[in-house]
Chains A and B, each alone.
Chain A
């Protein structure tokens, strides 16, 4: 593929990425929303984060990977504990990365 076509494709990607990012915020920020909708939107962060996170922890190329070889899942346990106990951002991340590094070393 020549680079001009690549650039045109990138511009297309920009458009289809930006519109869904901007339109709901621009359309909704100026309105007062019904309490039910506000409550529904309040669930979105927890739902999105769990939906993004869970597959990366429990799935690999072959399917469900609930084993001790799965270092991402293994590291999630102490990372969750540190996050719940300390509420520390940096502490959670250092714990997670440390356990993954250690698991790969062993």
Chain B
């Protein structure tokens, strides 16, 4: 994608500047969504400190939005933790998928990297790593810029929560879906990957319609990737 021109050589500009350029779509997406989270958290009874702490400690967009709704509904803490676990279990697959690229990293570097592994940072790194771009400082800067924008968005939401009623700025709520589209296109390297993406899309929609909302992503992903092995073998036989 765009970043290829700057990261390909690995020498042009500082790691921070290169990271900032690549993280920009994530920042654009996280600030409004973090803002919405901050507003909703206060409206659901969290105090400003806990609202910001959750963005620092948990850093998981959809799980945080679901959790504040549950806090507001007076649901038991254990149920909130259990729901968070199910909603975030999909990161296991992303974590596993990063492993072939980070063999040379130390354990504590991997531990630190994992802390900021979200759907969005994963999607960006999957594309970077696949083209051999595993520069450590740049990778950590991308993650930290992403989380800083998430925390900043949350903080802005806290500050504005008394003033704001509409948390949907025009078009900005499409920043993340649009980024996912661009990243998905980058992942469609061959016919097998295209078929996997279509299977995952259809399965995820079908599961959601059947009421499987929380395990939908992980189930659709596992089903599609597994069928992908068969599709890949079949395509090879054909050619």
B84 touches A16 (CB 8 A): yes
Chain B nearest CB from A89 CB (Å) reads 4
Give the distance in Å from the alpha carbon of A89 to the alpha carbon of B187 in the complex.
13
B204 touches A54 (CB 8 A): yes
Residues of B in contact (CB 8 Å), total 100
B229: chain A residues at CB < 8 Å are 36, 39-40, 43
Chain B nearest CB from A46 CB (Å) reads 4
Q: Please report the number of residue pairs spanning A and B whose Cβ atoms sit closer than 8 angstroms.
A: 288
A55 touches B95 (CB 8 A): no
Chain B nearest CB from A88 CB (Å) reads 5
* B43 lies within 8 A of chain A by Cβ: no
B7: chain A residues at CB < 8 Å are none
B119 touches A28 (CB 8 A): no
* B45 lies within 8 A of chain A by Cβ: yes
Contact of B95 among A23, A45, A54, A88 (CB under 8 A): A23
B228 touches A17 (CB 8 A): no
* B39 lies within 8 A of chain A by Cβ: no
Contact of B74 among A1, A17, A53 (CB under 8 A): A1
A57 touches B103 (CB 8 A): no
Interface residue SS majority, chain A: helix
**Contact residues of A between 58 and 95, Cβ < 8 Å to B:** 58-59, 63-64, 72, 75-76, 79-80, 83-84, 87-93, 95
B204: chain A residues at CB < 8 Å are 50-52, 54-55
B187: chain A residues at CB < 8 Å are 45-46, 49
Give the distance in Å from the alpha carbon of A74 to the alpha carbon of B225 in the complex.
28
A43: chain B residues at CB < 8 Å are 192-193, 196, 224-225, 228-229
Interface string of B182-220 (1 = CB under 8 A from A): 111111100011101111111111001100000011001
* A to B CB contacts below 8 Å, 24 in the list: A7-B50, A9-B71, A17-B60, A23-B95, A25-B102, A25-B113, A45-B94, A45-B130, A45-B187, A46-B197, A46-B200, A49-B123, A50-B224, A51-B201, A51-B203, A51-B204, A52-B119, A87-B186, A88-B182, A89-B2, A92-B179, A92-B185, A93-B28, A95-B178
